[in-house]
Amino acid sequence: MMVDAGLQYVRIGEFAWSSYEPGRGRFTWEWLDRVVDILADAGLEIILGTPTATPPTWLAIERPEILGVGPDGRRRAYGSRRHTCPAPPYREESARIVELLVERYGSHQAITAWQVDNEPGNHDSARCWCDRCQEAFIAWLASRFDTIGELNEAWGTAFWSQTYPSFGAVRLPIPTMTAHNPALLLAHRRFASQRAVAALTEQYDIIRHGSPGRDITTNVYLGDLDVDAHALAALGGISSFDNYPHGKSGPMDTAFTLDLATGAAGRAWVMEQQPGPINWTPTNPPVPPNQVRVWAWQAALHGIERLLFFRWRAARHGQEQYHSGLLRHDGTPDRGFDEVHQLATELAGFSIRPDKSVALLYSYEDAWALEIDPHRAGLRHADLVLAAYTAARRLGFEVDVVAPNGRLSGYDLVVAPALHLVTAERIASIDSALRAGTTVVLGPRSLMKDAEDAWWPHPTPAHLTERLGSRVVESLSQTMDVTVGATPAGPWTDVLSEGGEVLARYGGGTYLDGAPAAVRNGPLVYFGASSEAAWLDLLAHLTGAAPHPAHLEVFSEQIIDHAALQVSDRR
């Protein structure tokens, strides 16, 4: 049935540890041998998953130290998934099962790729508060700062009398009377992400040694922020992710996820594509006819290399019984199966690498810092980023969503809607782009804080005020009816000083009337507003582009006819 549907790749084994090893040292490989041979005989290629997202119950009972500890100090219970600690005990067990898998299947011709783990960081699983992680955190801090005095200075711990007498006095951020120091919270995010990536790196190394020549990747849910997906993509040179449009608010959110994935490593796979209704979003809306096909076309048009559906057959047991598959619970084809069969014909020989002239800068560290100290309840880093991204897409631009410390001079336009933290690498990348004549647009809250989440001690945007001829004089989380021209400015509003070429001023009948909202000097622009409409006006002014129906992201959650699909294809 898979071959008849036109499928080429099958992912298996990512949750199967207890089926591999039902007890310590007792293995039941025969079922997997049979499955691998059946798939290989049918001409299907296999992506074999390492099962480390789901340790078996016997292992949790035998070695309870593998279980993570929550911020409340309680050890997490087994019975679900991703309930482990990234310290050596679980890493040892992970390496053991991966070595056995690679020894048995690493040279099998049908195994063409490996998936390491599954959705690391999901369910807030990257951070652990156990004693081992506490000790590792102290050691990590001591490796970053020469002395405790240097840490105290960088974090500003004199405020609220938090000064630490030694590295050993620094505690993981457990619940306390009120907010923790933002520097501590950001350090914990960095530490946890790096520790998770280090743990997965050990599995990559085992696979490279024992199964050479195969692609290796780790799928992530890009709505999570716990683990830096750029760092994960760098491990194997492939960004793979789970694409569930019903977990997002609209087609532009999905488009952004696709471009974030392709921009992370150049190669991107959808490891789990929604095949129909799912079970874990708040409302789990129905999926109308033709929608699965349209979602897959959207991925193809954004340059996705491989696309796999989760799952093949709907599960009769467990926590995801309402998660549809290409087959129903009874094994008969569901609507998604028929649409995949049509897709296989349409996509035969299809390949696209969109020519992207616009780069949008996105950083997990910025997202962490702004989530820790948002200045406005409920406002997310993603809101700022998506507003600028949507504006660029509506103007017809293909957008690369890329990390801010890479090469930027190859783009016509670089948009940085919330480039929050100041680092030497970021400044060097921007400087190189500006010297090459690339237009760089900094959005609100850009280059305001140093790498430890402390406010920059000089005028902002850091290192660029002289070049801009202007500076930020107010950073507001405002609720007034402030506009840029006739367009709402949005909730986050940076006010600039007079200087350079003022492109736009604030209005709306408040005390901000007439204050500069956008300033340009040569190829450098600073824009203080945050709404999608304001970004649309600014980018249209800078590029001369205008919204056009053929450039809209037409992949809405409605039934879309083939004519609409062809319009998007002609982009």
Query: In this structure, are strands 45-49 and 9-12 parallel, antiparallel, or unpaired?
Result: parallel
Beta bridge partners of 241: 220, 270
DSSP 245: G
Radius of gyration of the chain, Cα coordinates, nearest whole angstrom: 25
Instruction: Work out the number of other CB atoms within 10 angstroms of the CB of residue 140.
Output: 18
Quick one: DSSP state of residue 181? P
Answer for the pair 214, 107: CB distance below 8 angstroms, yes or no: no
Measured in whole angstroms, the distance separating CA 439 from the mean position of its chain's CA atoms is 26
Q: In whole angstroms, how far apart are CA 140 and each of 145, 170, 187, 426, 571?
A: 9, 11, 10, 23, 48
CB 427 within 8 A of CB 468: no
Long-range CB pairs of 169-178 (<8 Å, 24+ gap) are 170/137, 170/138, 170/141, 171/134, 172/71, 172/129, 172/133, 172/134, 172/137, 173/71, 174/71, 174/72, 174/73, 174/129, 175/71, 175/72
Amino acid at 476: L
Q: Is 119 a catalytic residue?
A: yes
Q: Which residue has the tokens 């200075």?
A: 153
Element spanning 505, H or E: strand 501-507
From the list 272, 305, 365, 532, the catalytic residue is 272
Q: Is 92 a catalytic residue?
A: no
Q: What distance in Å separates the CA atoms of residue 384 and residue 529, rounded to the nearest whole number?
A: 10
Options 119, 339, 452, 553, the catalytic residue: 119
Secondary structure in 3-state letters for 461-481: CCCCHHHHCCCEEEEEECCCC
Residue recorded with tokens 């292992």: 59
DSSP string, 64-125: GGGB-B-TTSPBPPSSSSS-B--SHHHHHHHHHHHHHHHHHHTT-TTEEEEE-SSSTTTTT-
Other Cβ atoms less than 10 A from the Cβ of 375: the count is 12
Do residues 47 and 10 make contact, with C-beta atoms less than 8 angstroms apart? Answer: yes
How far is the C-alpha of 272 from the C-alpha of 49, rounded, in Å? 13
Contact between 305 and 342 (Cβ < 8 Å):
no
Contact by Cβ (8 Å): 368, 225: yes
Closest C-alpha to 262, from 294, 227, 307: 307
- Within 395-546, residue ranges assigned H as helices are 424-435, 465-468, 532-543
Which residues are catalytic, by number? Answer: 119, 272
